[in-house]
Structure 1
Amino acid sequence: MSYTKRKGKKGLTYGYRIADNKGNVITSKSGFLTKKLAKEVGESRKNKLEKVNTIREDFTLYELWKRWYELSIKPSSITDTTKKKYRYRGHTIKKIFGNQKANTLKYSKYQKLMNDYSVNVTYNYISRINSDIRNAIQLALRDKIQIDDFTIGYKINAGKKSKKESEKHIESISDYERILTYLENILDYDISIIPYLLYTLLKTGLRLREAVALKWEDINLDKGYIYTYRGYSLEVRDYTEPKTPWSVRYVPLDSKLINVLNSLKTRQETLNMAYISENIVFFDQRHGILSNHSINKHLKTYLTQLDINPKITATGTRHTYISVLLAKKYDIKTVAKIVGHKNTIQIRETYGHLLKEEYDSEWDAIKGTLAEF
């Protein structure tokens, strides 16, 4: 910490500057009448900053996680929605471990506490909890804190099973066509906006938060495309940054979807909805922007009426869209760009399943080929 001295209208005044290890000024203040006062205030401020930025030996596991979050996650460029998920997991860590000191926690107790909590959660969720804790421990170790990495060897025993890939998308093109036809037949803005939203999701592969964020100026019905550049969090009820830089993109619209959106726009204009909707496309007359629960509840009802399994969520419409394009033999690089992925890796790993018709076709082709030998 350094001190400054300045002569002005009030006479001689003093100040302090606090810098990091690289010499960058973190904070400063001037205008003190004596150097002693500037030093006292500066030292107090420095102690507070050191307390905030230092990892202590006696931290609880939750406090250690919180410090990791503040240093590694909070300043990062990931979306506010993703940061909220980290904070939610932080609350879970506090719930599981309470005031347990991180440096006295042993593997066996860690395994037991995690087992007890895991009974009613999925494998994926408890795996993320464990990963966050491991990252927090690594931060402490880099600061030379004496602590055991009790996550090493931890075995995940989740009570709930995560959905299989086959349960995340509609399994056949015929079922995909049936749900689209069903939605076309119940489109009525005076009743609900949900069929319009679901139809658009199935026809574009947009993330739900991307579709909900759309305004009419983002859609070019003449040239047939959507421009998506942000999201809308149904949890915090506000616009969010795009999930990744590659999420900002143009998405093609087919002629049927253009007609559907045109009719929706016309009806909203007739009702003068822009006055209250701020030109939001999927704005319900009675309820405004709907909840994630309401959207998924309606989708489950529609699928049940059609006897279509599995009962996917709104997220599953995106999985279905990608699966259909791949089944129709579209280039995987083109598909990746349309849905906003950086490359084809996630497409191959997440959506590399086959739709039923494609599997049956390949099955018969293999038998035919082998019969030639």
Structure 2
Amino acid sequence: MASYRKLKSGWKVTISQRDENGKLRQTSKQGFATKLEARRYAATIEQDIDGVKKAKQDTLFLDYYDQWVDTYKRPKVQASTMIKYRAVHNLIKDNFAGVKIQDITRTDYQRFLNRIGQHYAKDSIRIFTSPIKECVRSAIADDVIVKDFTQQTEMIYGYQRRDVEYLTIAEIKKLAQTIEQSLKPTRPIPYVIYTAIYTGMRLGEIAALEWSDIDFDKRTISITKTWSSVTHEAKSPKTESSNRVIVVNKHLLDVLLQLKDNGHDMIFKTLHGMPASRSVNVSLRSFLKKAGINKSGYHFHSLRHSHVAYLLSKGVDLYAISKRLGHKDMTITAKTYAYLIDEYKEKQDQQIVKAIDEI
């Protein structure tokens, strides 16, 4: 509502309205020659305020999310990260098409979590819901909605991701021997797989390696970048902890030197460019079959798990493994490889009991 007051300089009008949170907001202007002019101004302001409020209330959830991503995320995140935001866009489109954001209730959002939880594992659910929660908080800050409908809801993840398959020590040796017998410098991809066996490095980290990253005297590899399959260029790792120097054995370095004559600064560059994930996995499955190893769910990243399993079996300290993998702290390593750690803990417990029995 508006109130009017006659001043020496003319009429003054004050428009008072409460926002969605009940907070009183006022707009004032003075200097009108007549009270009628002040009334006309007040009517215009009240109409504009109501119009903006109604426009906000008519905002579709999907439209607001896209606007939020374009404004706050796209300018600063890497192209590969945008894949995650596009995936969330598709989820919102599939589950909230045509739904206004202020019409969504906590119950609606919980039902959404119940649905997607049937098809995704816990980690995937977190990846999807994190941007949604951040977007909803932004909508509250923009006065588009009043309450956070994601609060006091529970993630559902009836779909449980299987533990990643890993190779036994004998299988690791068999795979390495099979690859060694097939190595040809004109085909760098087998060398990529061979490097993963000995280092536990991620595919992007291996693909980005240059000869300058290897210290043949100290027998170390410096990992300072990762190859993006989206932008087709080397970029800095997402976290500072991913920048690291790892020790390797002379045998691996001797094998990699076979690629030196290819004449590229990038160690694993092929005739068709950088090794693609699909081509690497096809090659890996071929080597597994040739080695007589039947692991239907085994893929390139499983080599990282196998590397950890091997180091654990040899009694390597978890802290050293964590640093080698480029994890921020041991908690991440312990969580990611909990199933392996539990397995080796059980074996250690058996050794402890045996040792106690001998007292």
- Partner-residue secondary structure (3-state), 2:270: coil
Q: In structure 1, give the amino acid aligned to 2:199.
A: T
Matching of residue 221 in structure 1 with residue 206 in structure 2: no
Trace 1:86-165 onto structure 2 (pairs within 5 A): 86-113=85-112, 120-152=119-151, 154=153, 156=155, 161-164=160-163
Q: Which residue matches 1:23? A: none
Show the counterpart of 1:319. Answer: 305
Asked if residue 207 in structure 1 is aligned to residue 192 in structure 2, the reply is: no
1:59 and 2:45 aligned: no
Do the aligned partners of residues 80 and 230 (structure 1) sit closer, same or farther apart at CA in structure 2, a change above 3 Å counting?
A: farther
Could you tell me which residue of structure 2 aligns to residue 296 of structure 1? Answer: 281
Q: Deviations over 1:299-354 (max 9, x none)?
A: 22323442243632222222222332233222333222222222211111112333
Q: Structure 1's 254 and 310: CA in aligned 2 closer, same or farther, altered over 3 A?
A: farther
Deviation at 1:130, TM superposition (A): 2.4
- Structure-2 residue corresponding to 1:39: none
- Partners of 2:222 and 2:64 lie apart in 1 by 41
Look up the match of 1:84: 83
Alignment of 1:259-298 (within 5 A): 259-265=254-260, 269=261, 273-274=262-263, 278-285=264-271, 287-298=272-283
* 1:62 positional shift: 2.2
Indicate conservation of the 8 Å contact 2:185/2:258, yes or no: no
1:64-91 deviations in Å (ceiling 9; x for gaps)? 3334435654465x64423432333234
- Which 5+ residue runs of structure 1 have no aligned equivalent? 1-50
State the distance in 2 between where 1:235 and 1:352 align: 31
Task: Spell out, residue by residue over 1:193-217, the C-alpha distance to the aligned partner (whole angstroms, 9 max, x if none).
Answer: 2211001011112111111111222
Letter in 1 for 2:211: W
Determine helix, strand or coil for the equivalent of 1:293. helix
Residues 122, 159 of structure 1: 8 Å contact kept: yes
Q: Deviations over 1:230-256 (max 9, x none)?
A: 111123322222121121221222111
Letter in 1 for 2:189: I
| Cross-structure match for 1:181 | 177
CA-to-aligned-CA distance 1:10-63 (integer Å, 9 cap, x gap): xxxxxxxxxxxxxxxxxxxxxxxxxxxxxxxxxxxxxxxxx9xxx944332223
Q: Provide the TM-score with structure 1 as the length reference.
A: 0.70
Distance in 1 separating the partners of 2:305 and 2:91: 29
How large is the RMSD of aligned CA atoms in angstroms? Answer: 3.1
- CA distance in structure 2 between the aligned counterparts of 1:297 and 1:288, rounded to whole angstroms: 17
TM-aligned CA deviation for residue 294 of structure 1: 1.6
- The answer to whether the 8 A contact 2:118-2:158 is kept is yes
Q: Check the 8 A contact 1:66/1:90 in 2, yes or no.
A: yes
Go from structure 1 to structure 2 and tell me whether the alpha carbon gap of 1:263 and 1:245 turns closer, same or farther (over 3 Å shift): same
Task: Report if the CA contact (8 A) 1:205-1:319 is conserved.
Answer: yes
Q: Distance in 2 between matches of 1:224 and 1:85?
A: 37
CA distance in 2, matches of 1:220, 1:369: 43
Structure 2 Cα separation of the partners of residues 150 and 370 of structure 1: 56
Larger radius of gyration: 2
SS at match of 2:65: helix
TM-score by length of 2: 0.73
For 1:324 and 1:71, the matched residues in 2 are separated by: 46
Question: Hey, what does 2:340 align to over in structure 1?
Answer: 354
Number of equivalences: 305
Unaligned runs of 5+ in 2: 1-51
Distance 1:96 1:292, change over 3 A: farther
Change (3 A) 1:347 1:114: closer
Letter in 1 for 2:150: T
